[in-house]
Structure 1
Amino acid sequence: MLSLAREVTVGGSWHDIPMSEMISVGGMTQPRDKLLAYARDYLNPENNYAYPAYDAYHGSGSAQVEDVDLLAIVLLNAGQRPLPTYYTLHRLLPQINERLADPRLTGTFAEASQTTVEAIADLFGILDDHRPTDYVGKTKLLKVLHRKRPELIPLYDENIRRLYSETPNPPVPRDTKRTHREFALAWLPALQRDLVAYHDLWQEIVAMADPKAPITELRALDIVAWKMGSNVASTSGKPRTS
């Protein structure tokens, strides 16, 4: 009997798609077992990845971003030039918290409507509206924001960019003329499709995590996409990044 998964477009309707042992995330397809192995390795605290340090970090515990939350970026190995990074993010706190309070930011990313996706893109737009943002780009900003809405706001870094933009048939072709917000509007629907299409896989990875440091399906996707994107980087001859 053929198993079915559920897929949805942003703001669109659900429809059934066949399950497969081959999983396509971004512009790469790999066996399901291999992706589970990636996650198992990453979630093993003995391997000294960012889990569980980043995911268990309590921070301020507030719905808003406060000074103590800015320190979380070093726990995802994105803390190069920590003092300039801290001061830049600190200056942006009023704008960050104003947009984070947008009532459109509700629910989960898997269920996000076009309106909610646009509100997430507005968070990316902070980097467009408040230039120059020295030492802070999408990677560091989203590492702070994900912790405040872990089921709604995705993570991002260079490996994920490569996975979605530098494969032979990328779902989000590279365009250096895009603003940060425009990139988000192109990338978020592709990410949402991957999150929804392989819901069972992300649930299985979520169950691997220590209950004391739980993760969301969105974080599970990030873990797998980060590793897959590192393979894109290594085969293209570009340096690997954390």
Structure 2
Amino acid sequence: MRLTETAYAKINLALHVRRRREDGYHELETLFAFVDAGDTLSARTSEKDELKVVGEFATEIADPFGNLVSKALGKLPRPDGLSITLEKVLPVAAGLGGGSADAGAVFRMVRDAYGLPDDWRERAAALGADVPACVESVTCIGRGTGTELEPMESDLAGTPVLLVNPRVALPTGPVFKAWDGVDRGPLPEGSPSLIAREGRNDLEAPAISLCPAIAEVLAALRETEADLVRMSGSGATCFALYRSADAMRAAAEKLASGHPDWWQLQGKLR
């Protein structure tokens, strides 16, 4: 048996940090969306679980056994082992939920081949706050630490999106630590396009304080014909939404010419 899955890149169209909880985590309200591109996982049955990592960012995964793919395999009972090759094209520590997306793809592989246990959501949440959303990879509101999910019909499906990262890894912990603690209010209510337009990312300012290159990326994207420009998650990846694929491609070419060292990915919202 051979299986193939795309680990769809996650973006936060809006991310509101409400408060710090007693357990040390932060109370969040976010609008998750997913791009129709990302890492690729291919698997075949084997006597034991195995993981091989290839691709542009393979070397940034120092410990394959600590990788979320390996941890996801360990969470899911099944009769066979799976030998997985992960093609890592999403940058690491980039606000795209790359590891969570990889884990979500493993859950979908196991679901399609063997079925998932009834408590799969709890098993996914134990791997990370973004993992449950990444299993389904559909537009949804996330609350709590991001694990309380409310799927939404998206009026943004098919929207061209450009992801840009200055090739600076930015771990989540320091960004949350740099947040000023001010509750700036809840997510707007309405359609995904309205929430995205009227929402914000409360981690943008603290992320820029740690990684000034994010401000350069945002400024460059705002000089294109983008309808919306924002940082995703805790950074450092930023995204821009466009009305047409041609406008998105023109922006990608402009940025590639002016900043050939920046990573970028073109796609559409799912």
**TM-score greater than 0.5 by the shorter chain:** no
TM-score (norm 2): 0.26
Larger Rg: 2
Give 1 or 2: higher strand fraction.
Answer: 2
